[in-house]
Amino acid sequence: MTRQDAMRLLLAGIGDDLLAYPALNALLEQQFDAAVRHRGPQLASVAEEISVLVDSMLERRTQRVALVQRLLGPTATMMQAFALLKNAARERMEADWKTLEHMVIECKRLGKRNSDLLVEQYSIMQRVLHGEEQIYAPA
């Protein structure tokens, strides 16, 4: 694989992630809605879709790390890889990378929100089904 091929793959992967993160965001919103409405089958279906999407995103991330290392060595960064591009392309990729970083942060926030909701629902159900360990505070 040539350096040019590696760079093409790297940039294509970033482009694919720029399309994938809005889809993940939408799925996380669907997951939240299903959890709030206690729709178990929909929750399971959305969880499977999220899993498939995240797996493909993780594969692209692994490939991205390998490509950057191939281009610049084991301690290279994305910004160093972007520096290999001509001005206009570099500026566009740096902007795309910042956009991608913001999307990642937002999806992490939504994932945590969903997780917190599901944990709280589980905790409530456990208390309803099994009762409180101590109903009265010890004297």
Domain boundary assignment for the chain: 3-130
Residue type, 4: Q
Q: With contact defined as beta carbons under 8 Å apart, do 52 and 20 qualify?
A: no
Q: With contact defined as beta carbons under 8 Å apart, do 100 and 14 qualify?
A: yes
What percentage of residues in the chain have a pLDDT greater than 90?
85
Report the topology of domain 3-130.
Answer: Methane Monooxygenase Hydroxylase; Chain G, domain 1 (1.20.58)
pLDDT, mean over the chain: 92
Confidence of residue 138 (pLDDT cuts 50, 70, 90): low
What are the tokens at 45? 């279906």
pLDDT, one tens digit per residue, over 45-69 is: 999 999 999 999 999 999 999 999 9
23-37, 92-106, 122-136: least confidently modelled range: 122-136
